[in-house]
Amino acid sequence: MLAVVCPGQGSQTPGMLAPWLDLPGLNELLGSWSELAGVDLVAHGTTSDADTIRDTAVAQPLIVGASLLSAHAILGDDLGVVDVTAGHSVGEFAAAALAGVLSPEQAIRLVGVRGAAMARAAAAEPTGMSAVLGGQADDVTARLDELGLVGANVNGGGQVVAAGALEALAALAAEPPTRARVIPLQVAGAFHTETMRPAVAELQAAVDALPAPDGDGAPRVALLSNADGAVVDGRDDALARLVRQVANPVRWDLCQATLAERGVTGLLELAPGGVLTGLARRTLPGVEAFAVKSADDADAARAFVARHAGAGTSSDG
């Protein structure tokens, strides 16, 4: 049974799209997506430096564009081989496109709105995020509560990303939970917290402007929600969850639990891959994981897909 997952913000690297654009048609496709996102994805994916692509308004459509480009190159239109899909944070928009809830063009347009809106919300007050690695879960939660911080990403494998005021994050680093390490992250603000509430309204307006889907718009591939790891119940549910996600925690640990319950045998992480396969290797024993990092991985990724498509059993759990 094949799961295809899509990475989130922070996975981008300078020049990561250059090899993909050598493949037929992909340069033109990315160019058309640039117009939809309001961001030059071709330039940012090939020549922009690390500081430039760290900008939230650039990073989000760039990452979703990379995932959808790699999906196009590896899977083509044969999405029937995918049993379940999920995406971490902004990656959930790429997963929604794979599931058929959104078209790739709609996903790119919405992420352009999301990235710009979240960048504006982050600029309104000084906040940030830090990874907390290790420690006992109860101790970590207690320390975050004590400092008024939010576990904005609960990733499993002993990894929680704390978000909130910079002073509180500094206090966390100075006195971390027992047997835990704190690593400040290079992000613009406290994503997936109430700090992002202004961005929710902007994204909701963009979602409300989407045209009605052909047919019922039901997902053609099981799509897991960041909110609780549940399989979404139709297009309206999926879109509502995508909007709420902006100001609410990402529960990737619960997404991984659902993948295990459904009997996934192989997990393919689309470009720019690496982070989610790393988590899977710690939390999904027995599940083979493959990270698509460049266009050179495309042939091996197709072989991986062929090996796992249709294997195992599914349960809605």
Rounded Cα distance, 273 and 281, in Å? 13
DSSP secondary structure, 195-259, as one string = GGHHHHHHHHHHHHTSPPPSTT---SSEEB-TTTSPBP-HHHHHHHHHHHHTTS-EEHHHHHHHH
Question: Is the preceding peptide bond at 272 cis, omega within 30 degrees of 0?
Answer: yes
Determine the Cα–Cα distance for residues 140 and 178; give it in Å rounded to an integer.
8
Tell me the catalytic residues: 89, 192
Copy the structure tokens of residue 99. Answer: 């599931």
CB 256 within 8 A of CB 279: yes
Q: Give me the residue label for tokens 């393919």.
A: 268
Read off the tokens for 235.
Answer: 């297009």
Residue tagged 């494998």 (tokens): 157
**Structure-token pair, residue 313:** 């059993």
Distance CA 13, CA 11 (A): 7
Q: Identify the helix (H) or strand (E) that includes residue 87.
A: strand 84-87
Q: List Cβ neighbours of 63 (8 Å cut-off, separation of 6 or more).
A: 7, 8, 9, 11, 12, 90, 91, 94, 272
From first CA to last CA, the distance across the chain in angstroms is 15
Token pair of 243, please?
Answer: 């909007």
Place of tokens 């496709």: 29
CB of 33 closer than 8 Å to CB of 91: no
